[in-house]
Structure 1
């Protein structure tokens, strides 16, 4: 290959790498925006609907109406306490503990701090961190969990 052809190929590879990086950044930003929207919707949902459900519980109503209200409340809780990762298809059946740990990791807490906050051993946190990494598909990869989670804004 001539020197010109090699230079053109190298320049093309650099351009493709830049385009790939730009697309990755756009995808990350899109994921962040989706999760932010879901979190806002869930927060608004909890603030605007549950007070009315609580108020309805104090009203006189038939046994059937109370049963229906209990079902509605149960379903609303199920929806509102689900996490935005699941709603967006980013979650792989995270446990409640894993979700708490994810949130603490995103805040920059280290395993020792998380263990202290949750009153568990550091080994327990390591176990959950490994499960989180596996569920996110980054186990055995040189990917920082804090960076990865914050890139998704999970």
Structure 2
């Protein structure tokens, strides 16, 4: 039983590491606004899949890691991701019962809301500019949600995790 728990933990951590690497991967400047929110996609999947195990604490840790990786003010992403994770965990049953394309639409609004939340916190701390082209990245995230969800679910079932 401990081997399965270790395998589960290893797989979850590796998905977050891959998401973090994809998050900092460079994109061409002309396509930068279409960059999906990989960390939010993976965090959303795990909160919906295991809301009792992956929730606010995990989101806070991922937010701190994201702040460290991006070099932003420590705690901004952690605060916004924690609020996002709480709202997602509270409504996880409702969101899980939506169809995949409706979940994709939800992800578009969620990613855009998280980006607006990060902007608002940065605006209170120091001057910040919001780029309305962020909606394109949210839309890309919503389209990719279906594939991320199906890929992770298939891997979870093949590895007998969860």
TM over 0.5: no
Larger Rg: 1
Q: Which has the higher contact order (CA 8 A, sep 6+)?
A: 1
TM-score, structure 1 as length reference: 0.26
